[in-house]
Chain A
Amino acid sequence: KQEVTQIPAALSVPEGENLVLNCSFTDSAIYNLQWFRQDPGKGLTSLLLIQSSQREQTSGRLNASLDKSSGRSTLYIAASQPGDSATYLCAGEETSGSRLTFGEGTQLTVNP
């Protein structure tokens, strides 16, 4: 059974800092991995999807990497802004189109 762990559970940084959020999974047979952002009281916004044949994806100030052999994914946020404050969730897919197994998220606060 796939289990996903996110470290740290909470992170507070000053504006402008570069930061890394970590995600680890127990089963290296993960297919695709998706990173989401969740604002308080809102649904999930898809940030990046890394397909099984890829090692990383980039969108603006965000870069996500996937290392299946070590069971890890990282989300790198460059030059953080107060608007980046939210909970970030990673989720793994075991086969194409199957359920996502989520971590518990990292709550990020970027202070002005």
Chain B
Amino acid sequence: EAGVAQSPRYKIIEKRQSVAFWCNPISGHATLYWYQQILGQGPKLLIQFQNNGVVDDSQLPKDRFSAERLKGVDSTLKIQPAKLEDSAVYLCASSSLRQGAHEQFFGPGTRLTVL
């Protein structure tokens, strides 16, 4: 079974530029999550999708961050404009209900550096 795929793996931009990340979840996983992990901290949820609908975006900075999941499969996360404090690893995860639990599986992440 193929894992969660993310691209690009690394991105360096200047502040005020825009950037987009892509995620392809595990086949058949209806739930998709985007997390932000700042160096030395645990990941923090930005947004959660169930199929193509948003379930939780309470911690998403909506003035600059946006995300979509067209057709309930792939997802993109965009930052526009980027700030220095957005430097972090952006992790995508997916899950499905199996044996009574939603075990989350993570992709390799995209490391963003904002200069």
Contacts and interface: CB of A to CB of B under 8 A. Distances in A.
Contacts of B72: none
B97 A104 contact: no
A43 B108 contact: yes
B56 A104 contact: no
B75 interface: no
B102 A32 contact: yes
Please classify the interface of chain B as helix (H, G, I), strand (E, B), loop, or mixed, using the class held by over half of its residues. strand
A34 B42 contact: no
A1 to B, nearest CB: 11
Interface of A: 4, 32, 34, 36, 41-46, 49, 51, 89, 91, 93, 96-100, 102-105
28 contacts: A32-B101, A32-B102, A34-B104, A41-B111, A43-B91, A43-B106, A43-B108, A43-B109, A44-B91, A44-B93, A44-B106, A46-B103, A46-B105, A46-B106, A51-B100, A89-B43, A91-B42, A93-B102, A96-B100, A96-B101, A97-B95, A97-B102, A98-B56, A99-B45, A100-B104, A102-B42, A104-B40, A105-B42
